C-alpha cells in the first residue's frame, strides 16, 4: 500500500500542475487506498472501488458517483503503468443530470439586491458589498476571482480588470462598461477614506480591512436575498450567488439578439470573457426564459420575411 500512497501523491501533484484544484481529493483517495489495504487488495479493482464508493449510508446517489469518479481518475492514471489496474465504468453509478436550474433574476431584483447591500453597516461593509455584487452582475466573473482581485488588478483609468490565477490558472482581461468604472471609482475613494491602512492589497476589503472570504460572501448574499423576500422558483429553488454569473451570460445572449448580432458567431467572445476554455462550457449556462424566447421569435420572423 506504500506504493499506492506514493502513486496517489504523485497523481494529485500532476493533475494540480495542470490546473485542476481537486479539492478534498487528498482525503478521499487517501481513505480509498487505506480501504484497499484493509481489504488486502493488491491494486484497484472495480469491485473494491464500488464497495468503497457506496460505503457511506444516508447520502445521495450523486455523492456515491462523485466518490467513484475520484477513483476512476486515479485508476486511469495507474493503468498506464500497471495493466492489472481496473478502471470502473463511467456509468456504473449513473446519477443523472445534477446541474441545477439557475434562478432568473429580474432587473428589479438585481437593483434591489445592490441597494440592500449598500445599506449594510458599517459604511465600509455596505460600500464593499454593493460594489462587489455590482461587479459580479455586470461582468459574470466568478466569486473567487473577484475576492482575489488586488488593487493593481483594477485599472480604472483604462476601465479594465485583470483576472489572474483563475480556474485552470488562466488569465484574462475584462473591459468594463463606463457605469461600472464610475461605481468602482466611487467605491475606491470611499474605501481609502474609511480604511486608509488596509491589512491586505485586496481591492475589496471587509470592515476590518481584510480580504473577503468566499464563505462570508455567500452568507451575506443569502441574508440579503432573504431580506428581499425573493420567492423560490421551480427547478431553481432559492437564489444562489453563482446565479449572478448565469444571469450575466443569459443577459448578454439576449443583448446579441436585440442588436441583431449572430449569437453563434459571438459565442466564442462571450466564452472568453467569462473564462471558459471552450464555448461548449458556456452552453451549460443557457436556459430558456420568456424574454429570450420572445427575442428569438422576433429574429426568426424577421429572417423568414427577408428570405421570402
Query: Looking at the structure, do residues 138 and 29 belong to the same domain, yes or no?
Result: no
Q: Is residue 86 part of a domain?
A: no
Average pLDDT, the chain: 87
∠ CA 67-72-73, nearest 5°, is: 105
Q: Are residues 64 and 128 in the same domain?
A: no
Per the structure, the complete domain to which residue 62 belongs is given by 2-79
The reply to whether 216 and 74 lie within a common domain is no
Of the chain, the percentage scoring pLDDT greater than 70 comes to: 90
∠ CA 20-245-131, rounded to 5°: 110
Clarify whether residues 143 and 32 are in a common domain: no
Does the residue 75 lie in any domain?
A: yes
Whether residue 16 sits in one domain with residue 164: no
User: Can 240 be counted among the known catalytic residues?
Assistant: no
Which DSSP helix (H) or strand (E) runs through 78? helix 61-79
Please tell me which residue in 125, 242, 266, 299 is annotated as part of the active site: 242
β-strands 154-155, 172-175 pairing: unpaired
Known catalytic residue: 142?
yes
Number of domains in the chain: 2
Asked whether residue 84 is domain-assigned, the answer is no
- Domain at 187, CATH number: 1.10.443.10
Instruction: Give the DSSP H or E segment for 162.
Output: strand 160-163
> Across residues 122-143, what is the average pLDDT?
96
Classify residue 186: in a domain, yes or no.
yes
Annotation says 191 is catalytic: no
- Active site includes 245? yes
Q: What is the DSSP code string of 10-40? A: HHHHHHHHTT---TTHHHHHHHHHHHHHHTT
pTM: 0.68
Mark whether 192 and 304 lie in a shared domain. Answer: yes
C-alpha cell at 155: 485599472
Of how many residues is the chain composed? 308
Q: Is 138 in the same domain as 275?
A: yes
Rounded mean pLDDT, 184-199 = 95
pLDDT for the residue 271: 87
* Residue ending a domain, choose from 16, 44, 79: 79
Catalytic choice (142, 148, 191, 246) = 142
First-to-last C-alpha distance (Å) of the chain? 72
> What confidence category does residue 167 fall into, taking pLDDT thresholds of 50, 70 and 90?
low
Amino acid at each position: 500500500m506504500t506504493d499506492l500512497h506514493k502513486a496517489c501523491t504523485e497523481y494529485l501533484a500532476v493533475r494540480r500542475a495542470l490546473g485542476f484544484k481537486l479539492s478534498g481529493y487528498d482525503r478521499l483517495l487517501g481513505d480509498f487506498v487505506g480501504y484497499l489495504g484493509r481489504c488486502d487488495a493488491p491494486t484497484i479493482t472495480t469491485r473494491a472501488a464500488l464497495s468503497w464508493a457506496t460505503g457511506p449510508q444516508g447520502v445521495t446517489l450523486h455523492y456515491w458517483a462523485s466518490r467513484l469518479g475520484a477513483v476512476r481518475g486515479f485508476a486511469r492514471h495507474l493503468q498506464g503503468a500497471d495493466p492489472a489496474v481496473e478502471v470502473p465504468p463511467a456509468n456504473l453509478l449513473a446519477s443523472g443530470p445534477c446541474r441545477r436550474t439557475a434562478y432568473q433574476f429580474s432587473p428589479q431584483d438585481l437593483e434591489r439586491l445592490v441597494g440592500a447591500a449598500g445599506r449594510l453597516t458599517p459604511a465600509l461593509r455596505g460600500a464593499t458589498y454593493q460594489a462587489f455584487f455590482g461587479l459580479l452582475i455586470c461582468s459574470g466573473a466568478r466569486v473567487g476571482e473577484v475576492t482575489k482581485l488586488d488593487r493593481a488588478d483594477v485599472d480604472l483609468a483604462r476601465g479594465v480588470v485583470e483576472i489572474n490565477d483563475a480556474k485552470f490558472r488562466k488569465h484574462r482581461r475584462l473591459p468594463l462598461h463606463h457605469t461600472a468604472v464610475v461605481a468602482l471609482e466611487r467605491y475606491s475613494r470611499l474605501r481609502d477614506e474609511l480604511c486608509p491602512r488596509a491589512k491586505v492589497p485586496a481591492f475589496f476589503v471587509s470592515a476590518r480591512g481584510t480580504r473577503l472570504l468566499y464563505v462570508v460572501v455567500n452568507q451575506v448574499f443569502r441574508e440579503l436575498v432573504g431580506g428581499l423576500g425573493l420567492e423560490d422558483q421551480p427547478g431553481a429553488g432559492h437564489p444562489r450567488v453563482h446565479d449572478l454569473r448565469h444571469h450575466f451570460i443569459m443577459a448578454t445572449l439576449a443583448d446579441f439578439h436585440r442588436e441583431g448580432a449572430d449569437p453563434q458567431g459571438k459565442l466564442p467572445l462571450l466564452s472568453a470573457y467569462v473564462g471558459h476554455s471552450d464555448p461548449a462550457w458556456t452552453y451549460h449556462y443557457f436556459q430558456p426564459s420568456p424574454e429570450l424566447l420572445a427575442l428569438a421569435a422576433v429574429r426568426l420572423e424577421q429572417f423568414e420575411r427577408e428570405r421570402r
